Amino acid sequence: MRYEDFHRRSIEDPEAFWAEQAQAIHWHKTPDKILEYDNPPFRRWFAGGETNLCYNAVDRHLPARGDQLALVAISTETGLTREITYHQLHREVNIFAAVLKSLDVGRGDRVVIYMPNIAEAVFAMLACARIGAVHSVVFGGFAAHNLALRIDDAEPKLLIAADAGSRGGKVIPYKPLVDAACAEASFPPPRVLMVDRGLDPDYAKVEGRDVDYATLRERHADAQVDVTWLESNEPSYLLYTSGTTGKPKGVQRDVGGYAVALALSMWSIYDVRAGQVMFSTSDVGWAVGHSYNVYGPLIAGATSILYEGLPTAPDPGIWWSICERYVVRTMFSSPTGIRVLKKQDASWLKKHDLSSLQYLFLAGEPLDEPTAHWITDGIGKTIIDNYWQTETGWPVLALMPGLELKPVKFGSPGLPTPGYNLRVIDEVSGEEVAPNQKGVLVIEPPLPPGCMTTVWRDDARFVRSYFSHFKQLVYSSLDWAIRDEDGYTFILGRTDDVINVAGHRLGTREIEESVSSHPNVAEAAVIGVRDELKGQVPVVFATLKQAGIAATAAEEMRDCVSRQLGALARPARVYVVAALPKTRSGKLLRRSLQALAEQRDPGDLSTLDDPNALEEVKQALARGADAGG
């Protein structure tokens, strides 16, 4: 089928379209109604239907592919690889579900999971889904205060934690963070279930609260736990994302709509079907980890690769080695991950047999053209940018090779995926802008299946945060965008990532693209800094592929921007650093950079991946612009 016909039908006849897609999953009770939309912007997909994410991800595959690999958990931090079949996954999930029930966890109870990328994190998620508990995975190693905020919002009956994680060979103890978070929280969980990896053998146990998973696992080794069938719109999980108020927003996902959306996306977007292999480099604590490390591939009956480790250790070819060994068909990573590899010798891209690999999908932040060209040339595969948010749960914009592969346009994540009725509108008037004009990307409601249903326990915040920016009722992505004559959308950055230079609005994304086109720039971050004369001026922080030429490269970066965007966009200052501060999910901490450049408090740095990068920035600011480190 042609992409245009497929997408058009999803917009013009959504109930018929999604009724067909719903046949891809198992329903214990068929839905009474495909769509209820009598209280906009709230909607209920597959109302009255009963299903279960765990059953769709595990149980229904046992007759046909019980001996097929379901999950391969690889840790280059510990040197351990676990190959787990669907039968084995079913056994482990039943055991974990029995452990949860023994701790008085049941339908509707919240469970916070504070774990690294290990198999037990997947077992825990699926076990919660099996018994109808609502899981909330918090990225392992998150600061205690941030964990406490999430605990207080979710009010969990149980917290599941590993003793420690590891990054670059450095052990990161989790238990002290768990203890500090529980001490700070107003609603600490009554029980903490510890998964002991043996990385922190001396962690302290809180008597009466902490229980050991290995002990309970042995006790329930033969358990069989019945599936709890949930109405399609009951909450499946909470995933917290940053809020402008400082209080994180609990993105609430449903059960049936999410399962249907993932089933559709696996074949149509990622071109992965039962028996094939998908490798997502994300962490289970992020939206991609939920959708495409865990639920998506398993719902499709595919094999999912779960990876704990750096992209450069034991060598910069580790990802490609995994692709060769496990015959990976589709890989999913981030532009940041590729830019990390871009600093390494490009010969590592050629050392492994990638004949099985068909596509590399990249998401999480805009994919700059130089990086897209570099990785395309390096591995000779189709590189597909795709755009989505924690709130949407699956791609909003992408190409769909499983349906019809449209031409790749570097710089664009592609075309709207099924169910997303997208517009680019003027920020003031709310009117749709002409092709190639900048506006705000919005979604006409109702949001399709798989998207968030509300903010946990705060419907008013859901409406205020996403649907109150324009006179008409539309979901604002809060991203600037341009749509060309062919319908391809180009994301220009957040609507709050705008520099106002002498009354002219400049997107930081546009300047970053220009700076990154310099052949010696590995990565760049652009911020707006206060200026008495112009209001704000652009300031660049950049890492270089080749050291020792900072002053020359800085001037050349300025010239690049002047040529491509005009003198107004020319950076006032360029700072060359060895590393840029990022979150553990790979997003640049631009607001912290701006605060440091303006000699302000950089704010909450709990998500900072490498503290040395922040110190690098401070030293660069002290040295002055254009100086090398």
Distance CA 371, CA 425 (A): 29
**Least confident piece of the model among 15-29, 241-255, 256-270, 440-454:** 241-255
Contact indicator for 125, 160 with CB cutoff of 8 Å: no
* Residue 495: per-residue pLDDT: 78
Separation CA 269–CA 361 (nearest Å): 10
Minimum mean pLDDT range among 107-121, 319-333, 392-406, 613-627: 613-627
538: in domain? yes
User: Does 93 score more than 90 pLDDT?
Assistant: yes
Whole-number Å distance between alpha carbons of 66 and 106: 27
Residue 580 has pLDDT above 70, yes or no: yes
Q: What is the mean pLDDT of residues 545-550?
A: 74
CATH value at residue 537:
3.30.300.30
Determine the residue type at 148.
A
Q: Please identify, among 176, 200, 223, the residue that sits at the C-terminal boundary of a domain.
A: 223
CB 179 within 8 A of CB 200: no
In a domain, 175, yes or no: yes
Buried b (16+ CB within 10 A) or exposed e, 13-32: ebeebbbebbebbebeeebe
pLDDT class of 461 with cuts at 50, 70, 90: very high
Residue 408 is given by DSSP the state P
Contact between residue 250 and residue 240 where contact means Cβ atoms under 8 Å apart:
yes
> What 3 state SS string does 186-214 have?
CCCCCEEEEECCCCCCCCCCCCCCEEEHH
The per-residue pLDDT for 627 is 59
Last residue of a domain, one of 163, 196, 223: 223
In which residue are the tokens 């609990």 written?
A: 250
- When pLDDT is averaged across residues 165-169 and rounded to a whole number, the result is 93
The reply to whether 65 falls in a domain is: no
DSSP 3-state of 319: helix
Q: How confident is the model at residue 154 (pLDDT cuts 50, 70, 90)?
A: very high
> How confident is the model at residue 329, as a pLDDT?
98
What Å distances lie between residue 99 and 110, 146, 499, CA to CA?
15, 27, 53
pLDDT of residue 455: 98
Phi-psi region of 474 (alpha: psi -120 to 50; beta: other; left: phi over 0): beta
Q: What is the mean pLDDT of residues 355-378?
A: 92
| Residue predicted with more confidence, 194 or 613 | 194
Residue 187 token pair:
């609603």
- Indicate the range of 10-14, 141-145, 221-225, 527-531 predicted with least confidence: 141-145
- Is this prediction's pTM over 0.85? yes
Residue 151 banded pLDDT, cuts 50, 70, 90: very high
Q: Is residue 131 part of a domain?
A: yes
pLDDT at 246 exceeding the cut of 70: no
Q: Which domain holds residue 91?
A: 83-223
In a domain, 501, yes or no: yes
| Average pLDDT value for residue range 612-617 | 85
Which residue, among 216, 113, 197, 119, has the nearest Cα to 158 in the 3D structure? 113
pLDDT at residue number 629: 45
State the average pLDDT over residues 251-255.
98
End of a domain among 170, 198, 223? 223
Give the mean pLDDT of 344-372: 93
CATH code of the domain in which 154 resides: 3.40.50.980
Q: What's the residue count for the chain?
A: 629
Whether 339 and 277 have beta carbons less than 8 Å apart is answered as no
In degrees, to the nearest 5, what angle opens at C-alpha 529 toward C-alphas 339 and 337? 10
| Domain assignment present for 183 | yes
Measure the CA–CA gap between 105 and 94, rounded to whole angstroms. Answer: 14
Q: 474-479: long-range contacts (C-beta < 8 A, 24 or more apart)?
A: 474/423, 474/425, 474/430, 474/442, 474/443, 474/444, 474/445, 475/41, 475/442, 475/443, 475/444, 475/445, 475/447, 476/440, 476/442, 477/389, 477/396, 477/440, 477/441, 477/442, 477/443, 478/440, 479/440, 479/441
In Å, the largest CA–CA distance within the chain is: 73
- pLDDT of 244 higher than 70: no
Assigned domain for 157 exists: yes
Residue pointed to by tokens 């009554």: 190
Alpha carbon separation from 561 to 73, 409, 571, 574 (Å, rounded): 44, 22, 8, 12
Instruction: In whole angstroms, give the CA distance from residue 386 to residue 310.
Output: 23
Number of other CB atoms surrounding residue 388 within 10 Å: 24
pLDDT of residue 564: 79
Q: What's the mean pLDDT when you consider all of the chain?
A: 93
Residue 74, helix vs strand vs coil = strand
∠ CA 349-354-356, rounded to 5°: 160
How many structural domains comprise the chain?
2
pLDDT per residue as tens digits for the range 4-60: 999 999 999 999 999 999 999 999 999 999 999 999 999 999 999 999 999 999 999
The β-bridge partners of 239 are 251
The 8-class DSSP code of residue 291 comes to I
Beta bridge partner(s), residue 384: 361
Residue range 436-451, pLDDT digits in tens: 999 999 999 999 999 9
The whole-number pLDDT of residue 624 equals 83
Q: What percent of the chain has pLDDT over 70?
A: 96
pLDDT band, very low/low/confident/very high, at 604 (cuts 50, 70, 90): low
pLDDT tens-digit readout, 566-577: 788 899 999 999
Q: Which position has the higher pLDDT, 139 or 102?
A: 102
The reply to whether 60 falls in a domain is: no
Helix (H, G, I), strand (E, B) or coil at 610: coil
Q: Please enumerate in sequence order all residues whose Cβ is within 8 A of that of 473, keeping only pairs 6 or more positions apart, or say none.
A: 40, 41, 445, 467
* Burial environment of residue 119 by CB neighbours within 10 A (0 to 12, 13 to 18, 19 or more): buried
CA gap 423, 439 in Å, rounded = 9
The answer to whether the beta carbons of residues 210 and 112 sit under 8 Å apart is no
What are the pLDDT digits (tens) for 190-215? 999 999 999 999 899 999 999 999 99
- 74 band by pLDDT with thresholds 50, 70 and 90: very high
